[in-house]
A = this chain, B = another copy of it.
Amino acid sequence: MATNQNNKQINVEAFFKISYGLYVVSSGSGSKINGYVSNAVFQVTSEPAQFAICCNKNNFTAELIKESKLLSISVLKKDTDSKLLGVFGYKSGRDIDKFENVKYMTGVTGVPILLEDTIAWFECKVTQTIDFGTHLLFSAEIIENNLIDSSGEPLTYAYYRDIKKGVSPKNAPTYIDKGHVQAAISDAKKYKCQICGYIYDPAAGDPEHNISAGTDFAALSDDWACPVCGVDKSNFEIL
């Protein structure tokens, strides 16, 4: 339970019944390009064909969208590589070049368009920017688009959450504080995920994967995955 501004209790689990896809929204031009994983994408009008996307103001991509008034939306496929989700969902473009090792193209407007693990994309021009406090909502009209894989199934947030055990990055509109998952409450050997920063603490275990408290990192099975970004054990380093 959480509370709203009137101090009323809000049932947080109810939010998990809202269905979303998962996308990489990109922006920028030339050497300054970036993208992030978003679930907040919907079509607002069909004439003209126009999307709305919602983005945390702190995202580097939000800055680039504000500057360029351009963005692209890549629809991720169901079996998208967890490492791609880790890089685009949990790293900042201020620290790394997210496009370094992935397939992408530059659209007619100069905006980057992720093609890796992508089944369809839309290149768009921003039409309105609306302030929502912590987030910005951009509406954007389609300039070009393409369907890469007509039989490809899109990745949904429900699938990612249930199968890949992901939780929202801190900047997502759907973020719910899961500090307890990341709390370090013992002196046992802890391991840190090099992709998203999650810390595995044996004293806490991993309740989302039914790993009980007191389980050493070494005792986790090889198919155990980071409960935050979904990558495997090889991405963890001892603290």
- Chain A residues close to B by CB (< 8 Å): 2, 4-6, 8, 10-11, 13-15, 17-21, 39-50, 52, 54, 75, 119-122, 128, 130, 132-135, 137, 139, 141-147, 150, 152, 154, 156-158, 173-176
Contact = CB atoms under 8 A, between A and B. Distances in A.
Copies of this chain in the oligomer: 2
Given A141-B5, A173-B45, A147 B19 contact: no
A14 B120 contact: yes
A146 B44 contact: no
- A10, A19, A176: residue with the most chain B Cβ atoms closer than 10 Å: A19
B50 A132 contact: yes
Nearest to A139: B132
Contacts of A175: 46
A12 to B, nearest CB: 9
Contact of A15 (B4, B6, B43, B52): B43
Nearest to A146: B11
B154 A19 contact: yes
